[in-house]
């Protein structure tokens, strides 16, 4: 049983809840628990989409610097794999994912948010990659996912300076997708996730895979990824049900089983 990370499931939406007082610092234990819970969310048939949430006051303030400060180079060589594995596990959830960000999402906390498909920020949120102020760089995917999301120049500005951005600037540069009052951020994120309950799970997984894998390759290779994902769906019951329903009843009337 995980101590600081848990998966709460209600009405088809899974919420990955970070709960390590006071600031949800992401030490090695939290990182391992995130891997475990992310895999559970991916595997459970009763979870259609996932919200990642740190609580009302803070999303996650970053890696546990006290723990890292005592590590030798040799120890960090081993630990760095875990540092990337927990955000890889979040990104690998084959279902729509959304980060519900309140308060600080800094360093590793920002990297957790970057590993989700979309990000909803409270109007009090502060995001950033301040690792440079410690004499290091982001190590849980920040240099790669941030640049792909906001572009290399903006990513370099944030990483080089280590500065924090507020919710409005984060929205303007594309770091977050929606800004809402702090009291509403979780509700908005759950509502977004809930739209996928009862949806075509295999098609959603294929769409996510095609977009994510396509961003890693050239256009022609990406088109081949899309072709394979597209044709594979014709082996699914959902594709037959969806197209039959469209022909008979018009769009948006199909009932999907996830098979």
Q: What is the C-alpha separation between 113 and 156, in angstroms, rounded?
A: 18
What sections of 92-166 are H helices per DSSP?
108-114, 142-150, 152-161
**Catalytic residue status for 111:** yes
Distance (Å, whole) CA 207 – CA 5: 28
Report the C-alpha dihedral over residues 23, 116, 94, 184, rounded to 10 degrees.
80
- What is the longest distance spanned by two Cα atoms in the chain? 66
* 3, 40, 75, 131: the active-site residue: 131
Distance of alpha carbon 236 from the chain centroid: 26
Q: Considering 33, 111, 188, 229, which one is annotated as catalytic?
A: 111
CB 86 within 8 A of CB 32: yes
In the numeric block, the tokens 């590993």 are attached to: 115
Residues taking part in catalysis = 111, 131
């Amino acid at each position: 049983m995980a101590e600081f990370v848990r998966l709460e499931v209600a009405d088809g939406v899974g919420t990955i809840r970070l709960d390590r007082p006071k600031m949800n610092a992401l030490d090695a234990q939290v990182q391992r628990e995130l891997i475990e819970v992310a895999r559970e969310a991916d595997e459970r048939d009763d979870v259609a989409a996932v919200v990642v949430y740190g609580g009302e006051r803070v999303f996650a303030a970053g890696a546990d610097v006290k723990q890292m400060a005592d590590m030798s180079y040799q120890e960090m060589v081993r630990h760095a794999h875990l540092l990337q594995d927990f955000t890889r596990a979040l990104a690998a959830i084959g279902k729509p994912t959304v980060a519900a960000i309140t308060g600080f999402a800094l360093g590793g906390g920002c990297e957790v948010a970057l590993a989700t498909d979309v990000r909803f920020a409270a109007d009090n949120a502060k995001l950033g990659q301040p690792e440079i102020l410690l004499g290091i760089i982001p190590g849980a995917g920040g240099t790669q996912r941030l640049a792909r999301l906001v572009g290399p120049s903006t990513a370099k500005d944030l990483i080089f300076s280590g500065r924090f951005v507020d919710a409005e600037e984060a929205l303007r540069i594309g770091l977050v997708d929606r800004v809402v009052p702090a009291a509403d951020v979780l509700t908005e994120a759950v509502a977004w996730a809930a739209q996928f309950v009862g949806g075509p799970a295999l098609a959603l997984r294929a769409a996510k895979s095609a977009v994510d894998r396509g961003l890693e390759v050239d256009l022609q290779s990406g088109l081949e990824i899309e072709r394979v994902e597209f044709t594979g769906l014709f082996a699914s019951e959902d594709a037959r049900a969806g197209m039959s329903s469209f022909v008979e009843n018009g769009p948006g009337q199909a009932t999907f089983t996830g098979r």
